[in-house]
Amino acid sequence: MNNKSKKGFTLVEIMIVVVIIGLLAAMAIPAFQKVRETSQKKTMVNNLRQLASGADQYFLENGVTTVSSASLVGSDQYVKSVDQVADETYTGTITTDLTQLEATGTDVSATISF
């Protein structure tokens, strides 16, 4: 009689595990990317709201009708810093009507309208 004990896994068992892990990864990666994009967009909208609020304050204190977004951000300005999450840029001129602000970044953009 052959009293050899079987130790380890067969090639078929290992291949089944690899396929299952691949299927799980195929489902999880797109969901993770969607959550990441949503989070980045929410942060960008929050930054735009901070810029709009800073612009309102700037208009009240200086009696002007336009301001560039670059003039609002800095250690001694109305908005101390803008957290960049997608290498986005906040460019343009903000006017007193504040109808719309936009930010554009890597793979994501955000707009707020008033």
Among all chains, which residue has been given the structure tokens 């560039």? 68
Query: From the CB of residue 88, how many other CB atoms can be counted at a distance below 10 Å?
Result: 23
The structure's pTM equals 0.68
pLDDT of 98 = 67
Residue 1 has pLDDT above 60, yes or no: no
pLDDT confidence tier of residue 53, bands split at 50, 70 and 90? confident
- pLDDT (0 to 100) of residue 37: 87
What are the Cα distances from residue 62, in Å, to 22, 58, 78? Answer: 59, 6, 12
Q: Quote the pLDDT of residue 2.
A: 62
Residue type, 88: E
Q: Which residue has the higher pLDDT, 5 or 10?
A: 10
